[in-house]
Chain A
Amino acid sequence: MNCSEAEVLIHALIDGELDAGHARDVEAHVASCADCAGKLAAFRELRQAMAAADLKEKAPAALRARIEAALPLPQTPARAADAVVVPAPVLTARRFNRRFFVGGFALGSALSGAIAATLVLGVFNDEQQQRIAGEVVSAHLRSLQPGHLTDVETSDRHTVKPWFNGKLDVAPPVIDLTTQGFTLIGGRLDDINGETVGAIVYRRRNHVINLFVAPAQGASQGAPQGARRQEPTSQSRHGFNILHWQESGLDFWAVSDIAAGELDEFGQKFRAGLQPSPASG
């Protein structure tokens, strides 16, 4: 590696964007080049200074109110009766000239189409599953509201599992994946598709993963429970990744805003943890 290559790649190293092989190459070059070593140190310092400075802006309250007014929530029936003033949706931004947005508008949809096309996703064929996927995302969003994430908060699976006893028809399996990068933070009861289900909550860095567990659809008829198995399928919905699979007569729905690949990894590790280890028979 020469200095001009390293000059670009040290930034990817600082940002944690290099795979192990390339990271080694850059580190090897830096170790033998005082000039690049100095740059690496200086840019690390700059990055830290930027991280320490509070550079993100808070949206002014008036702007938030203006946008919220343009996205009206339905009135509840009781309130709708005596509601006199309903904020009209503000259809255009205040000072911009609407006429000239047409060009950008088409550009915007072309761009978002292009972005969507870059993702290759498994497909949920079943309409029922699509609906449940929507509910899973809503339940995940609800859980992120302050104070809603866990009913029982602990990193000990031996506390979480018995907590579910008697609260649900089936006992969801609780697997500790902390050593594998997914920290168990607790459990909660939630509501999906009109049924009470168990939610096991994990954390990956700053991101929450909700794993919803419910008796598999139609598990009581047909094949014996243990035989019901369905390989994971994934999809992205409103910016959240969802992974669904069936195992041991249970439906599993994992949902999070972590990358699809990481959620797949979570699914694999969880399912590996479900298998009885050879030692314990």
Chain B
Amino acid sequence: MSDDGDADRTRRFREAALPHLDDVYTLARYLMRDVADAEDAAHECFLRALRHFDTYRGPAMKPWLLAILRNVCKAEFTRRAAQPTPPERSEEEFAADEPLWQEPQASPEAELVRRHDDEAIRRLVAALPQPFRETIVLRDINDLSYRDIAEVLGVPVGTVMSRLARARAMLRARWILEQGSAP
């Protein structure tokens, strides 16, 4: 009986949660940057969400999963910061010598221009400081409402609005700079 209940619960969880895997993975990529770290974070997010599925009463599934994912990533960064050895490099050092975003290399020539733009936007978003990066990703890529973003981040809607304004202003400034320096 309890086995049936567990199986039923897992089935319902799969049906409700798995459709959001791409969204979870996308946010994980922008938060963790490293592909393997992003996969681990997404994986842990789903395990944790399943454990809490019984007490889940809303809001919508997507913001709930993204809130859990964000906690997973924060816990991982906290853990790394607390580790004495080997000495961790700061985010800035990472940013300095590692590409923030890697694209698959081969692509048909007709797609190259569009690809180039997509890749540039991706790279510029990935380079934004963390609070602004997560806000703009949740809005413009994960497509959440301001209220859902406020719940995911645990901040008032007003804070979401001001961070989003800053994020877009920074993004636009860097975008213009980049286009200006293009041949």
Contacts and interface: CB of A to CB of B under 8 A. Distances in A.
B75 to A, nearest CB: 3
Q: Is the interface of B mostly helix, strand, loop or mixed?
A: helix
A55 interface: yes
Interface in B58-78: 58-64, 67-68, 71-72, 74-76, 78
A108 B52 contact: yes
Interface string A218-250: 000000000000000000111110000000000
B56 A46 contact: no
Interface residues of A, number: 68
A59 B42 contact: yes
Contact of B12 (A72, A100, A138): A138
Contacts of A107: 71, 74-75
Interface string B24-66: 1110010000001101111110111010110111111111100
Interface in A88-119: 90-97, 100-101, 103-105, 107-109, 111-116, 118-119
Contacts of A72: 10
Contact of A17 (B145, B162, B171): B145
Contacts of B29: 57
Interface in A42-56: 42-43, 46-47, 49-51, 53-56
A141 to B, nearest CB: 4
Q: Is the interface of A mostly helix, strand, loop or mixed?
A: helix
A53 B26 CA distance: 14
Contacts of A49: 117, 121
Given A56-B141, A71-B10, A238-B61, A111 B46 contact: no
B46 A71 contact: yes
B165 A93 contact: no
Given A55-B122, A64-B18, A239-B56, 18 more contacts: A8-B165, A17-B146, A43-B168, A56-B26, A60-B25, A67-B18, A67-B43, A71-B46, A95-B37, A100-B76, A103-B75, A108-B48, A108-B52, A109-B55, A116-B56, A119-B57, A138-B12, A236-B57
28 contacts: A11-B164, A46-B171, A51-B140, A55-B125, A57-B25, A58-B25, A66-B43, A71-B14, A72-B10, A73-B11, A74-B7, A93-B40, A96-B79, A97-B79, A100-B75, A104-B74, A108-B67, A108-B71, A111-B154, A112-B56, A115-B63, A115-B64, A238-B53, A238-B61, A239-B59, A239-B60, A239-B61, A257-B61
Interface of A: 7-9, 11-12, 15, 17, 42-43, 46-47, 49-51, 53-60, 62-64, 66-68, 70-74, 90-97, 100-101, 103-105, 107-109, 111-116, 118-119, 121, 134, 137-138, 141, 236-240, 257
List the 8 shortest-distance A-B pairs measured between CB atoms, nearest first: A104-B75, A239-B61, A236-B58, A100-B79, A59-B25, A74-B7, A53-B118, A93-B40
